[in-house]
């Protein structure tokens, strides 16, 4: 059975049996916090469990690497919405060890685009239109540095209220252990 059909079949039963009832909550985070983390499969359940966070406790924003690369990109917008509209009072940026975004090689990635049928012309058009595609695809060498950079982007954002602590952490994708990179209370 194809994945989509499998999911839709399961979903019918899930709803019919009211399995959703244990998850019912509001859109406001009970722990008044927003987390930015990585899309890594190992963190899907591990991260909230390791932090004692449950459905309804927090807002969660994920991307590849937990990177906030642009002060006016969608991650930063989501954080601002969480803070101003959804009662999040603290921000946690949580990277992880062995992240797929560490040491991503943009040249190799572009080669893979080509192998999958993206033409040289398309790549060139993107470049000529002023997009620095290599820079855009670039990963990071040190997860601690990357987390610190993202914390700085949030903390120094002109639209961030000064009283919101922005914490930086790195989680182990094996044990769930958290290492502190930046204690946001220090700068409050």
Least distance (Å) between residue 65 CB and Zn ion: 5
Q: How far is the CB of 143 from Zn ion (least distance, A)?
A: 8
Owner of token pair 């499969």: 41
**Rounded least distance, CB 70 to Zn ion, Å:** 18
Nearer to Zn ion, 34 or 38 (CB): 38
CA torsion angle for 153, 159, 161, 164 (degrees, to 10)?
Answer: -30
The CA distance from 140 to 36, in Å, is 16
Closest distance to Zn ion from the beta carbon of 20 (Å): 29
Closest CB to Zn ion among 103 and 122? Answer: 103
Give whichever of 38 and 160 is closer to Zn ion, judged by the CB atom.
38
8 A C-beta contact, residue 94 and residue 170: yes
For strands 166-171 and 58-63, give the pairing: unpaired
Which of 83/146 has CB closer to Zn ion?
A: 146
Would you tell me which residues interact with Zn ion (CB under 5 A)?
A: 38, 40, 99
CA angle 58, 63, 69 (to 5 degrees): 105
């Amino acid at each position: 059975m194809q994945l989509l059909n499998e999911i839709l079949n399961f979903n019918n039963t899930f709803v019919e049996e009211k399995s959703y009832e244990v998850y019912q909550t509001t859109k406001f985070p009970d722990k008044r916090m927003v987390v930015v983390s990585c899309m890594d499969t190992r963190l899907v359940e591990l991260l909230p469990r390791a932090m004692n966070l449950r459905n309804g406790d927090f807002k969660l924003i994920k991307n590849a690497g937990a990177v906030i690369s642009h002060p006016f990109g969608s991650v930063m917008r989501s954080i601002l919405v969480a803070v101003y509209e959804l009662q999040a009072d603290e921000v946690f940026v949580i990277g992880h060890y062995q992240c797929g975004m560490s040491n991503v090689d943009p040249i190799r990635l572009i080669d893979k685009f080509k192998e999958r049928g993206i033409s040289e012309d398309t790549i060139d058009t993107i470049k000529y239109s002023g997009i620095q595609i290599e820079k855009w695809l670039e990963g990071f060498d040190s997860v601690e540095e990357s987390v610190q950079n993202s914390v700085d982007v949030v903390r120094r954002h002109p639209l961030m209220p000064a009283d919101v602590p922005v914490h930086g952490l790195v989680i182990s994708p094996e044990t769930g252990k958290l290492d502190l990179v930046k204690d946001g209370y220090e700068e409050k």
